[in-house]
Amino acid sequence: MCGIVGFSSRRHSAVGPLVNGLRRLEYRGYDSAGVALQSDGGIRVYKQTGKVGELEKLLKEKLPAAERDAFKMGIAHTRWATHGLPTAANAHPHVADGGRLALVHNGIIENYAALRAGLEKRGVAFASQTDTEVLAHLIAQFDKDDFLSAVTQALKQVEGTYGIAVMSMRHPGEMVVARKGSPLVIGIGEHETVVASDVSAIVAHTRQVIYLKDGDVALVTPDGVNVYTLDNAPVSRDVQEIEFDLGAVEKGGFDHFMLKEIHEQPEALRNTIRGRLDKTDGTAILSGLNLTPRELAAVRRLVIVGCGTSLHAGMVGKHYFESLADIPTSPEQAAEFRYSNPIISPDDWVIALSQSGETADTLAAVRESMRKGALVSGLCNVVGSTIAREVGRGVYLHAGPEISVASTKAFTAQVTALLMTALKLGRTRRLSREEGLRLVAEIERIPDLVGAVVARSNEIAAIAEKRCKAEDMFFIGRGVLYPTALEGALKVKEIAYLHAEGYQAAELKHGPIALLTEKTPVVALLADIPGKEKTVGNVQECRARNAPVVGVVTEGDEEAASHVDDAIFVPRTSEWVAPIVSVVALQLFAYHVARLRGCEIDQPRNLAKSVTVE
């Protein structure tokens, strides 16, 4: 959600690094931005609604270049409104102690109303509607001699989630950062330290980082970092190296990050697959799962938890695990899972899907599953993320940074990783070596098959141009392609701001078909796999109501193509790979529809990349 950047240096002004860091975090979604700068003369705060560019204009107007070098420390923030409207007053940083203390915060302070009432009784005046300002004033109440202690005393009174960075003129040169449920990472450079909610804001300065854990509080100076518990006890955290370089978080000549990431999918999938296929025994090598064949054979039920795109990937995974490994599988919406008092037993395996590894609802589902004694694994893209650390076992996607809010390569990598996991599990059960070897060969082809779909981008754009003025769309599919239809509809909703619904094709005639008109395109998934003939029948029902049909059709399948108005052709594959190649076609279709409608693609309205609050 919101983005945090902190910078402390002996050599450089903080202004440029803070603004550039915020630009690296724009993909997360936000509605206002602000910065607090510290020098010997005090703390200056600049806040603005809208994009980071508006904040940059304000800084150029209010802070002459000749004055900037005096500010060697600062904190900055992009806000996605929760408590209070997106106004400059509600934007971060928030100040207290007469402007001598400034704070930025990601997360939600759940007991802020009670804390605020107590502070108001002590005469504290508030300038915003936010929960965050409460925390700033609370810390100021304790801020005497020891800055770290002031922060920890305040945090002990807080209920909720937080990632914070705070600085005070009572303690020049010191910044305190802390996390509980909202990610923070600290970059260690030469006489400078960078704090951010995402490594993409750090990689321009250093690749040496410390990932804070929940309950960590760190005292940051230009010369280093000391990490403590909330009881002020020192703890040790390993320094790790960021795996990608600056170029991975830049557009590289593409108009949008989303288009770049769609085109990166062949290479991303090669990275997901690389070294994980056993061509001798026809199985997958997933050492990160840290499970023996005996432990895998003992699993009696699978539960896959995720939200949004990850949930759709889990629904594809259900087909894989039940068909290849003969194991009952239940995809569950993570936000509902914890509150449904799920029935979990020790021979259940819970797989948590999250691109960021920080999704609050999925993390809550993980913790509930662990409390109930289940075997729990994570399937994440971000190395060092909270889910990955807490479960201690799983599969990293290695898809590289995903900047666009609308997920593309993370979804195809998740589905591919689930297919390899199902292969491994299947080989401990009824799947023969010969069947395993055939599937290994099929998985090896995935990057090239996806590349063939990406190469059709211009053809897909021409079809999108015919349909981009619609205000309603339906996406239909059967079996393993039903979740793909849901994902296609989600992409159109996310970036084209167009009402779209995904349906199991047979369900269309149980109500939704009443909404079909000549102005309502239907996108039908017609890959030549089991169930296609039934979906063709549903397509005919749509056309009988004058609805135009766009079909995602297997190359060479002229019979299926004859039933649609426009055909997007994808390579011939088995039913296991059909969801992957089909969804790439839908990603491109959604992208071009959004582009033609003039929508903001990488930072769609009201959305955030990583949902770190419940």
d(CA 490, CA 475): 10
Six-digit token string for 192: 């400078």
HSE of 104, CA atoms in CB hemisphere, 13 A: 35
The angle that helices 578-596 and 409-427 make with each other, rounded to 10 degrees, is 170
- The CA-based angle 264-265-270, given to 5 degrees, is 105
Which residue is catalytic, options 180, 409, 493, 609?
609
| Segments in 111-185 forming alpha helices (H) | 112-121, 132-142, 147-155
Do the strands 499-504 and 472-477 form a parallel or antiparallel pair, or are they unpaired? parallel
Is 609 an annotated catalytic residue? yes
Gap between the Cα atoms of 452 and 143, Å rounded: 61
**Of the residues 2, 307, 380, 542, which is catalytic?**
2
Which are the contacts of 65, defined by CB distance < 8 A and separation ≥ 6? none
Q: Do 582 and 460 form a contact (C-beta atoms < 8 A)? A: no
Amino acid at 6: G
Q: Please state whether the peptide bond connecting residue 93 to the residue before it is cis, i.e. omega within 30 degrees of 0.
A: yes
Three-state secondary structure call for residue 91: coil
Q: How far apart are the first and last CA of the chain?
A: 11
Q: How many residues does the structure list for the chain?
A: 614
Residues 6+ apart with CB under 8 A from 145: none
Element spanning 193, H or E: strand 192-196
CA–CA dist 85, 49 (Å, integer): 10
Taking alpha carbons only, the member of 574, 579, 292, 581 closest to residue 424 is 292
Q: Is 307 labeled as catalytic in the residue annotation? A: no
Question: In whole angstroms, what is the distance from residue 36 CA to residue 5 CA?
Answer: 11
The DSSP 8-state label assigned to residue 492 in this structure reads H
Distance CA 562, CA 553 (A): 10
C-beta separation of 592 from 461 below 8 A: yes
User: For residues 418 and 397, what is the distance between their CA atoms, to the nearest angstrom?
Assistant: 10
Catalytic positions: 2, 609
